[in-house]
Amino acid sequence: MKKLYLVRHAKSSWDDYMLSDEKRPLSERGKRDAPAMAKMLSEKDPDLEYLVSSPAKRALETAKIFRKAFNLSRKRLDEDSRLYHASPSIITEVIQNVDDQYRSVAIFGHNPGMTDFLNRFSDASIDNIPTCGVAIIDVGIDSWKEFSSERGKLLAFYYPKMFGLF
């Protein structure tokens, strides 16, 4: 059985309004929250095997922090340009292309697509995945190619304020 992690990027910086949206880095809060959330997740659920991230700087920085916390090689983190502000249908396409050697995969992306995806493809009813929020879904399939509109089971939902971070 496969397990899917949805991770919204950590808080981004708006210090330089001249930067394009895709180039915005993590804010100081994001740099604090991402390592704390990655460490917490690696202790609670250490089975994460593969990461796919939006190429946006804030998402990729978040994914790299998680990769290190899970002691994954650089080969276990890929960028996919389709994830930049992706709709649920595009996120689905990305998931369907994951190699079946991985039982657990994390997708790093953006709202509103991440929250819409979570509510459409799981039994969740979440208003908003906050920055650096993590949802874990048991998708009930044996191959990522089988991923479809079948609703998975939300196993856990974590976000920084749960752990006193904000």
- What's the confidence (pLDDT) of residue 79? 98
| Beta strand 134-138 pairing with 3-8 | antiparallel
86 pLDDT above the threshold of 80: yes
**Verdict on whether the full-model pTM lies above 0.75:** yes
> How far is 97 from 143, CA to CA, in rounded Å?
10
Task: Collect all residues with Cβ–Cβ distance below 8 Å to 74 and sequence separation of at least 6.
Answer: 67
Least Cα distance to 34 among 68, 5, 4 occurs for 68
- What's the confidence (pLDDT) of residue 165? 61
Q: Under CATH, domain 3-11+24-163 is a member of which superfamily?
A: Phosphoglycerate mutase-like (3.40.50.1240)
pLDDT band at 157 (very low <50, low <70, confident <90, very high): very high
Block residue for tokens 């708006």? 14
pLDDT band at 145 (very low <50, low <70, confident <90, very high): very high
Least Cα distance to 110 among 138, 150, 141, 82 occurs for 82
Block residue for tokens 């509103």? 112
The sign of the CA dihedral 134, 126, 92, 3 is positive
Block residue for tokens 């949206």? 21
E strand or H helix that includes residue 137? strand 134-138
Q: Where are the domains of the chain?
A: 3-11+24-163
